[in-house]
Structure 1
Amino acid sequence: MTLLLQISDTHFGTERPQVVAALLRLADALAPDLAVFSGDITQRARKRQFAAARTFVDALGATPVLVVPGNHDIPLFNPLARLFYPYANHQRAFGADLEPAFESPELLVLGVNTTRAYRHKDGEVSMQQVKRVAARLEAASAAQLRVVVTHQPVAVTRTQDEKNLLHGRERAVQRWARAGADLILGGHIHLPYVLPLHDTFAGLARRMWAVQAGTALSSRTRGTIDNSVNVIRHDESGAGDSARRTTVERWDYSEASEAFELIARHDLALGVAQPAVAVTTPG
């Protein structure tokens, strides 16, 4: 069993200390094989905010991390920095690679930088990025869970969120499906959900799922949804798509217990068979 912890929209600078502590306890208990940060690591891309984010990542200990930037990780109020060195603080904290990858016998996780200095909030994926990711996906093994990480969502559940959709998503989703992608992880709108992309985009070559995370640590929560993270469990036993089993769990912070608690579980069917999903709510 392989375990992936998706942490999104931490917005360091607006983090809640008690939630930071609770998430570190959860990560310690789960011991994930990888922690994925799907953008908006900071609130305003300031050095001290990235330093706080780096301290948090270091507190995860030996857990490998994959970090992609979000639109909040580019300076907003410093036009000179935004124009000439928009990722300087991000790269100082997390390294030069803005599109990192992680690979193990069970996992292939590919980061995509969907931010653009010339856009305020919107994200974009270029044809070059689509092709690069597709080539890596096509080289994956049959046993690997194949995951793409963007910041902005490729699909939404509410009309009012359509303005936040990733530009270039149609060609990206179609091409990545043909290349064998299983999941596309995202954040940006602080709304957790799992959506079958094979029901959203016509003619997809295989089942593929959008897995969106809420805000993990920030006070900038949405509506009645508290801080939230996703835990993805992948069972790669057996051979071929039909033997791979993946579960996405939503864990929300509870004010009462001051801990993250399991809220919902989505059992995903992968591969090229007819789409199906079972959703259960604990308790």
Structure 2
Amino acid sequence: MPHWRRIRPLRRSLSALALAVAAVMAPAAASAAPADTAAAPDTAAAQGASGGGWNDYACKSAQHPRPVVLVHGTLGNSVDNWLGFAPYLVRRGYCVFSLDYGQLPGVPVFHGLGPISESAKQLSAYVDRVRAATGAAKVDVVGHSQGGMMPRYYLKFLGGAAKVNALVAFAPTNHGTTLSGLTALLDYFPAAADILARHTPGLTDQVVGSDFLTRLNEGGDTVPGVRYTVISTKYDEVATPYRAQFLSGPDVKNVVVQDLCPGDLSEHVTIAMTDKVAFHEAVNALDPEHATPTTC
């Protein structure tokens, strides 16, 4: 794969980050309180209604009775993050739902910037909404980046363990990120660090050693009754070092896509958007009784 194709997603992510940081400098984005989207239809509902195949609240599946809730990453949203994976699941008979969370006032499209503990409350309300609509006792959750880590707060502190069967995470920030060493620069620019902490806590909550992560990981990575799968790439340039994504504990499986296919060049964004190796491993985690070997 040409080098420019590999770095294009990163350039888009960095551009999005610049837009988000610029937005929080504006008066309209002075508050980091997330919007309440639990009761209102989210943007992905339109995707399902227009033929995308997911967020169909009438969906029933005898083959896969547990709905799958997709949780986007930082600066993502309920549609764009899942344009590859959601249809992949729908074609395999899953009922698929996705939410927006962590919105900042005045910042459209780029979500996941609000306090992660508050975002977990939005996930909690959304899971209840999906369970009520489908009649399912439990759901499975699949997340990307922050969306792979944030549900652990829901499981551990908000009663989610009783409502979730499995958590599958693409490139999660489970133990924080150094952002390829860039977070160390915050020590030299305390004013910038303060602005980020006050206005985009969803970013600073994910930095290695943050108060949020210290509390989340205190006493162990997992809770009883939930199966955990982490799917990582050694070429991750955002959730770094990539081994910090791994979890420890019972019912945990940590997968590196290059261990399965050494020629896989996916990085942080593409592992959740286009990587069929990662997709196949995720489906194996959702339905382990019918798992099949992953091939390149």
TM over 0.5: no
| TM-score normalized with structure 2 length | 0.35
Instruction: Decide which structure has greater helix share.
Output: 2
| TM-score normalized with structure 1 length | 0.37
